[in-house]
Chain A
């Protein structure tokens, strides 16, 4: 009794999602939160992909004459909904999916893709991961059908610890993090890597707090202060990071904070002046890295989408690499594309990105930068209109963040 209405709804949904366009195109399903609390991150990513596809691929002739298109599927940040959206995408003929937010969703998707490909070998699907950084995705749980274009937590820590190795002002380190997988990993790698590289750095404290539940970080700051730490390592993101930095400023804590996620998606705005000369981040790019094309791309992007700030260089890298893989393979078959992506070396604006064959992890140059007042010279551009921008402290070459993998990949 409900079926006609229901069919129509589903049809309407699919028409709206596909856009009803008849011309040949290469379609990639973008499965990320597009509503709810993390929608800003998801929407920024989708806009980045659409813009990158348009400017870097379609305006340069497309993929074998076809246009590259990204279509959003809202997984609401939920691992289960991710699987439903994957099915919806497959039904509509998508053979490529990309996802970045939340390791839970990424684990769910990698499992679902593996099982789908094993159960439907004639309709395989390929998963491009642009931001989920749990190391297990390219180690224990690595898959032939998954490619990661962001450096994982362990590699980022390797880069940071290489930087710390040379910075002799660091004597006492405090580790604070959110009490979940990512926070645990950051703490673990920090301790392991510093023990190998800088035995003289004393780890004066280590705290974990439940994610997103701390309103007032003053007691944590008091503890850090009491420990005499000159440096703080944190994997915090979002409000947990902004509030931590603000509380540090309130209490007059002078330590430097090494962070993973201070660079974008609203954190600079929330942090504001509190982060000046105290917050250090690690990224694959920031606005003040001198580049040939990306600077203009970013400025145009920020102008075109007011309120959204260009953040993900790896989105551009991914789009270019995928397009090139398809052109080289002369095919849009997921398996052929995957084989062409393996071991690909792609010159990009910041150097070279190499997709390692053994675990499908991209290797790329990384930058360590500090939040400083924009001066129009070394800090040419500010971040998110705050008057403060990122100043490069060190460049980590592609080689310096490479780590061995434990991946034993099952190849079709």
Chain B
């Protein structure tokens, strides 16, 4: 009732419906089982990172232990699935992520009570400590967390099906994930429009003032942690069903770090930012990870680049372009963007060349002597000779100079365009 009627406008309905239809239609394009598995992983990560952004983006709480809720949800779902045994059916299985959500919610109540006393750095530190604590304990209780092997189960229960689905094939699982992701996303979006969502923003932006006008900031933070824990738990439940195995890894610091990266890269200032981040980082991890062993380095450098050059994430870059478009100024920048593409591509090619050569020489296939030809980027190269190195460095250098030169001109144009944009507004 609190949700204003403006929330449901025709264009919004169209947008959400279109997204759902697109998501459901994707398996028609990507038919291989690997790509469908990848889509499943993306769907789960979308929910997880959106739930994380409820803290970081909407309430201004930097958490280093969000995987705890995700993991709790996953374990609760898996244990319920196993407890069901033969009594359940596909419909019950489809509803299981709700169990995960409840577990995440319960975790949020308990841990949120401890962590939300303070905001800022203290909050970040407590979540780090609690994350470490839970991760360390998870290996001590093999009965609950399954030890190193984790807890596994089977999502296909019984012989009958629900509307023709038994969730066995990966495509059916993908459909289930999309439905859950859609419901969760709509719910999380609706939440941003409620008074609680607005209050969270106020607590993020100016806690003193929020307190002054009568809001209990601690309570708002607690509510947001609980709710975000709930959605993280639902995401965990989906992972449990999707992989049919849950290990202690789901609740450790690494998982917390990944969700932080996804959310930040996508953009914490926009509701749809984490969606972009989740999709992009999942693809990077798996596809780039499959192409080169240096992917962690690329990953780290990309992240540093984003922090320094685009702290608003990819969503903010898109938002600026949209503003330009709406103001009819996009055409002014387009030639500059096109002009920038070439030098940036040259620069990237050079950098990738240098990195790949170094990896091949130092950490790659072990041909350290350098006399033998090694495969680098699909080419047979002799690492011991200067030729490939000189080429790669020259390309990098040329790329750098060109980027500087063309980038400088683009920058001038950018500034004047922005000035016009803001001038128009004023």
Contacts and interface: CB of A to CB of B under 8 A. Distances in A.
Interface stretch (A32-40, A220-228, A318-326): A32-40
Given A136-B149, A181-B147, A87 B37 contact: yes
Contacts of A305: 366, 368
Interface centre among A10, A47, A304 (most CB of B within 10 A): A10
Contact of A119 (B34, B140, B169, B365): B169
Given A3-B29, A9-B287, A13-B287, A111 B152 contact: yes
A172 interface: no
A84 B139 contact: no
Contact of B291 (A12, A115, A134): A12
B290 A16 contact: yes
Contacts of B304: none
B295 interface: yes
B345 interface: no
Interface residues of B, number: 45
Given A103-B148, A181-B142, A84 B291 contact: no
Interface string B75-108: 0000000000000000000000000000000000
A290 interface: no
Contacts of B170: 87
B85 to A, nearest CB: 17
Contacts of A134: 148-149
Contacts of A36: 296
A215 interface: no
A308 interface: yes
B139 A76 contact: no
Contact of B287 (A10, A103, A104, A307): A10
Given A79-B247, A179-B140, A213-B136, A304 B38 contact: no
A137 B30 CA distance: 34
A307 B35 CA distance: 37
B239 A80 contact: yes
A291 B293 CA distance: 35
Chain A residues touching B, range: 35 or more
Given A102-B148, A103-B149, A108 B243 contact: yes
A34 B296 CA distance: 11
B328 interface: no
Nearest to A75: B289
Contacts of A78: 249
B293 A34 contact: yes
Given A6-B283, A12-B291, A34-B293, A184 B245 contact: no
A80 B378 CA distance: 29
Contacts of B35: 10, 91
A253 interface: no
A174 interface: no
A10 B168 CA distance: 25
Contact of B290 (A74, A179, A211): A74
Nearest to B248: A104
B136 A91 contact: no
Contacts, number: 131
A108 B249 CA distance: 12
Nearest to B375: A19
Nearest to A89: B34
In this complex, which of B170, B248, B250, B365 has the most chain A Cβ atoms within 10 angstroms of its Cβ?
A: B365
B417 interface: no
User: Which of B32, B148, B368 has the largest count of A CB atoms less than 10 A from its CB?
Assistant: B148
Interface string A69-94: 00001101011110111011011000
B41 interface: yes
A107 B147 CA distance: 11
B239 A17 contact: no
B286 A84 contact: yes
Residue from A85, A87, A112, A210 with most neighbouring chain B CB atoms (10 Å): A87
Contacts of B34: 10, 84, 87-88, 90-91
Contacts of B249: 78-80, 104
A7 B283 CA distance: 12
Contacts of A211: 139
Contacts of A17: 290
B192 to A, nearest CB: 25
B33 interface: yes
Interface in A7-33: 7, 9-10, 12-13, 16-17
A306 B149 CA distance: 34
B244 interface: yes
B154 interface: yes
22 contacts: A35-B293, A43-B366, A73-B290, A76-B285, A81-B286, A84-B38, A88-B290, A91-B35, A104-B248, A104-B249, A107-B149, A108-B243, A112-B245, A134-B148, A134-B149, A180-B142, A181-B142, A181-B148, A184-B147, A304-B366, A305-B368, A306-B366
* Top-9 shortest CB links A-B: A181-B147, A305-B366, A107-B149, A181-B148, A88-B34, A91-B34, A180-B139, A87-B34, A91-B32
Given A80-B245, A83-B37, 9 more contacts: A76-B289, A80-B247, A87-B37, A104-B148, A108-B150, A108-B243, A115-B244, A136-B149, A180-B139
